[in-house]
Amino acid sequence: MKEALLFDKLKEGDVVLCGMCAHRCRIPDGGRGQCAVRENRGGMLYCLVYGRLCASHIDPIEKKPLFHFLPGSYSLSIASVGCNFTCLHCQNASISQYPRQFGEIEGDEVSPAHVVQGAIRGGCKSISYTYTEPTIYMEYALDCAIMAKEKGIKNVFVSNGYMTAESAGLIIPYLDANNIDLKGDDEFYKTVCGGRVKPVKDTTILMKERGVWVEITTLIIPGLNDSDETLREIAGFIKSVDYSIPWHVTGFAPGYKMREVPGTSADTLRRAYRIGIEAGLKYVYEGNVPGSGGENTYCPSCKELLIERYGFTIRGNIIKEGKCPKCACLIDGVWR
């Protein structure tokens, strides 16, 4: 437990206003925020998951997914329990929704120094704050990120983007890359996730403006966010920020509270891919369909195959000094 960052004491009793995520929860004494891991105790807000890891694994960076950020490298991936969303399709609901369902905080005590040393021992070029929403354990992520940067280790968020400008401002000086979920339109966010779309877009813009490498993921769920209209709107927004932002359109698999919803077809992913390319995006990827070719990186100018992938494995990478070796076109990304 650690005193939280970004909260204000309100005049009415011991109520506090949390400014860590875009919910901006008003939390009464003894209550918790929407994330279920930030608790008001006597007018002071505390982060209950500081240094409490529920997951720690070494992953390929491609699993985040990040395709234009140190490809072929490994990342130490960590998470605490809790989340500020209640997505009906959550693939990690057993940890993201645990505090909300049971009221308890689970996890092993691991100091930021041990996290960074673990990344070094594991030969990882980065630490990824992932699996659940890293904004809810920002105090811990921030301390880890500061130490990691001092040791030459990169920092990566895999985030729903539901931050405030203040919380984004805390981590941006130490953050190297962010894969942000852009899940659908505003109605999708309200009915499926328990949020709104505007803060996610605002975070995307801010991260890009401040020099963080950004990639976008949209998990396509049949009947909910797979219409041409929705996909064009998402692609259009990405282009309006920067047409070089990679867009990952990935396949949904039934689970959690959406077990009756069918999985995403390869044809739907291919349609989303075409919509992204027609919108003017330079890099669009089809996820969760290994071997389809939709995960490869091609030169946006001459169409040369630059990085061949199978799932999270790189079979070949001919990018030289950030350029296509055939036509010398600059390939956007962080390559070393």
Domain annotation for the chain: domains and CATH numbers: 2-47 (no CATH), 52-317 (3.20.20.70)
The string over 36-48, giving b where at least 16 C-beta atoms fall within 10 Å of a residue's C-beta and e elsewhere, is: bbbbbeeeebbbb
* Long-range contacts of 9-16, Cβ-Cβ distance < 8 Å, separation of 24 or more: 9/43, 13/43, 14/40, 14/42, 14/43, 15/40, 15/43, 16/40, 16/43, 16/44, 16/45
pLDDT at residue 93 in the model: 97
Which positions ≥6 away from 270 have C-beta within 8 Å?
286, 294
Over residues 275-326, the pLDDT tens digits come to 999 999 999 999 988 888 899 999 999 999 999 999 999 999 999 999 999 9
Whole-number CA gyration radius for the chain: 20
Over residues 119-151, the pLDDT tens digits come to 999 999 999 999 999 999 999 999 999 999 999
Q: What residue ranges of the chain have pLDDT lower than 50?
A: none
Write out the two tokens for 222: 């049949």
Q: Residue 182: what are its φ and ψ, rounded to 5°?
A: -115, 100
**C-alpha angle 212-217-219 in degrees, rounded to nearest 5:** 160
Backbone region of residue 290 per phi and psi (left: phi > 0; alpha: psi in -120 to 50; beta: other values): beta
CA distance 174 to 154: 8
Indicate the residue type of 150: E
> What is the number of other CB atoms lying within 10 angstroms of the CB of residue 56?
17
* Partners of residue 3 on adjacent β-strands: 46
pLDDT at residue 239 in the model: 98
Write out the two tokens for 119: 């990344």
CA distance 281 to 279: 6
pLDDT at residue 292 in the model: 85
CA distances from 206 to 58, 94, 119, 170, 179 (A): 29, 31, 28, 12, 13
pLDDT at residue 336 in the model: 87
Write out the two tokens for 250: 């990935």
CB 135 within 8 A of CB 159: yes
CB 81 within 8 A of CB 133: no
Return the C-alpha torsion angle 68, 197, 143, 40, nearest 10.
-160
Q: Residue 16: what are its φ and ψ, rounded to 5°?
A: -120, 155
Indicate the residue type of 259: R
pLDDT at residue 12 in the model: 79
